[in-house]
Amino acid sequence: MRAIPALLLALGLAFPAAAQVLEDRPVEFPEKLEIGISTDEIAISSDFRGADLTIFGAIESYDPALLTQGKYDIVVALEGPKDNNTVRVKERVFGIWVNRRSMTFELVPESYSLSSTRDVETIAEPAMLNGVGVGIQHIRLSPVGYLGDGSNLTEFRDAFRRLKESGGFYQKDPGGVQFISASLFKATVKLPASVPNGTHVVRAHLFRDGVFIAEKALPLRVMKTGIEQMISNAAYNNSLAYGAFSVFLALVTGWLASVVYRKD
Amino acid sequence: MNIFIILGMGAAVGFLSGMFGVGGGFLITPLLIFYNIPPIVAVATGANQVVASSVSGALSHFRRGTLDIKLGTVLLAGGLAGATVGIWIFALLRSVGQLDLVISLLYVVLLGTVGTLMLLESIRALRRAATNQPVSLRRPGQHSWVHRLPLKMRFKKSKIYLSVIPVVGLGFGIGILTSIMGVGGGFIMVPAMIYLLRIPTNVVVGTSLFQIIFVTAYTTVVQATTNYSVDIVLAFILMVAGVIGAQYGVRVGQRLRGEQLRALLALLVLAVGARLAIDLVVTPRDLYSVVSEGVYR
């Protein structure tokens, strides 16, 4: 439950940033966005090969005229747990490939699965998408302690997105959001096979005629289960006991072998 | 990860280590790297595996009384200090993104040197056998600079009176290698003890195994707590296959002629080193890489 105030705080912080982009915002939009998922916790076993997560939602206080013209667009993102990520590039030094330059991006999602009514790039202007931070090309990638001239920035950001996409951690599904009645919609986001453990956030964005007007977010806990995850948890949470047990196993194995195969 | 490949790898390296009386850590870690196990995991898991492969050997030396515990303890003091420094270097290299490179480079140098020396030695032995020359035991000068160092101590079991400085220093150097490369280091320690410190050959192997157990055990625990990089399942499969393979390796090794076998092992060691060297030089498929720092976990 501690996630909720944090989430509200995050929303509160996200809005001023969006407002900067929307300087010419005329009035408060009446539309509201509601979403729901059947669970706030997903258990994943070790043979998990990826799955679809369906999110239902509705636009409230919509303008029927705009709706029939198809002016409303919805983008739903499943953001994985965040962490700092370092991108490194190799260069040849005396014939050997060596990691030379690097850039660390602050608190980027480990995974990112996007679903929208149509290609995100056609929904709104890039500046607007950058402001909201939605879309693989537009999520915030701010370097830690960066003092460069900015020319490297594009290089490392592009490399980061490319690596995340080719690794299957970042994916998009233009057309994954479908209206099932006038204002009711269904969004399908993909959980990759390598979905990271931890608290994810389902974040839905409503655009009206290319303008971002509302957002709604829900937390989703992804919990891996099974013996592999138990071992992994032990390695991280009880590392001393884990290390001691590894040594114990080795001692017993070696000792047993010397008893079983003793020659005299 | 295919369990049968890991079993096969462990059994094959165990067989070789039994046949030649080597620990096998210096083959297991590169093989794991070839199998796309991250080097950080390969090194820590390799150290864990060496604990198991050294225990049975050390126990049989202990039973036979060919283990100098006092000398081993002095070596161990240096070894533990070296492993601690090594882990610190390991963490530093990891944070600047040069760990994989340094591990590969060290292996290329180590395997290249050991393989070349072994090959030369076995070729010389083969020539001697061909011309029916008796094996000439070189007797180099009794005393070197090593024996003029202060802080001398008497090791009764080894029947030597030796300064502790080179013993601790040797342990320290091997300890660093254990934590950065995941090897026991017996293949360096044994010749160094025989030729440099002039410790009687009969206690050398048992004593080095004694120190290897403790240094690799310590390294395993420290790797597990600082880098979370010990894979207990992988290590267990390797050690079970390894200790069984070693028993058969010992039997086969006793029946076959040593020189050809040594030459074969030397070629294998050189091949592994060459493969690592090629991987360093060949243009990688992707010049960029991304890692999660794991600071918010």
Mutation pick from B49, B290, B292, B297 vs chain A, by most beta carbons of A within 10 Å, is B290
Name residue B71's amino acid.
L
Over range A48-55, report the average pLDDT: 87
CB contact residues (below 8 A), chain A span 100-139, against chain B: 102, 104, 107, 110
For residues A78 and A171, state if they share a domain: yes
Q: Do A89 and A136 fall into the same domain?
A: yes
CB contact (8 A) between residue A163 and residue B239? no
pLDDT of residue A24: 53
B235 or A260: whose pLDDT is higher?
A: B235
Question: Are both A164 and A262 inside the same structural domain?
Answer: no
Q: Is A152 an 8 Å CB contact of chain B?
A: no
Give residue-wise pLDDT tens across range B31-85: 999 998 999 999 999 999 999 988 888 888 888 888 888 899 999 999 999 999 9
Nearest-by-Cβ selection for A83 from B52, B54, B293? B293
pLDDT at residue A109 tops 90: yes
Contacts 24+ apart (CB under 8 A), B229-232: B229/B40, B229/B41, B229/B43, B229/B44, B229/B45, B230/A235, B230/A242, B230/A243, B230/A246, B230/B41, B230/B44, B230/B45, B230/B48, B231/B37, B231/B41, B231/B44, B231/B45, B232/A231, B232/A235, B232/A242, B232/A245, B232/A246, B232/A249, B232/B48
Which of chain A's residues have a Cβ under 8 Å away from the Cβ of B24?
Answer: none
Enumerate residues 6+ apart whose C-beta is below 8 A from A260: none
Residues A217 and A231 in one domain: no
Tokens representing B242 are 């390894």
Confirm if A170 and A111 have CB atoms less than 8 A apart. yes
Residues A152 and A236 both lie in one domain: no
A132 shares a domain with A232:
no
Instruction: ipTM value, please give it.
Output: 0.85
Residue of B nearest to A261 (CA): B247
CATH classification at residue A117:
2.60.40.2550
Cα–Cα distance measured from residue B193 to residue B200, given in angstroms and rounded to the nearest whole number? 8
Q: How many structural domains comprise chain A? A: 2
Which residues form the domain of A212? 3-225
Identify the helix (H) or strand (E) that includes residue B30. Answer: helix B25-34
Q: Mark residue A50 as left, alpha or beta (left: phi above 0; alpha: psi -120 to 50; beta: remaining).
A: left
Residues of chain B with pLDDT under 70: 133-144, 257-258, 295-297
- Give the closest residue to B160 by CA, choosing from B185, B205, B194: B194
Contact yes or no for B98 and A98 at CB 8 A: yes
Residue A246, chain B, CB below 8 Å: the answer is yes
A168 touches chain B (CB under 8 A): no
Residue B250: per-residue pLDDT: 80
> Can you give the pLDDT at residue A183?
82
**Do A144 and A217 sit in the same domain of this protein?**
yes
A159–B290 CB contact, under 8 Å: yes
Q: What is the rounded distance in angstroms from the CA atom of residue A12 to the CA atom of residue B204?
A: 69
Own/partner long-range contacts of B133-142 (Cβ < 8 Å, ≥24 apart): B140/B195, B142/B198
Pair B179, B47: CB distance under 8 Å? yes
Question: What is the pLDDT at residue B60?
Answer: 81
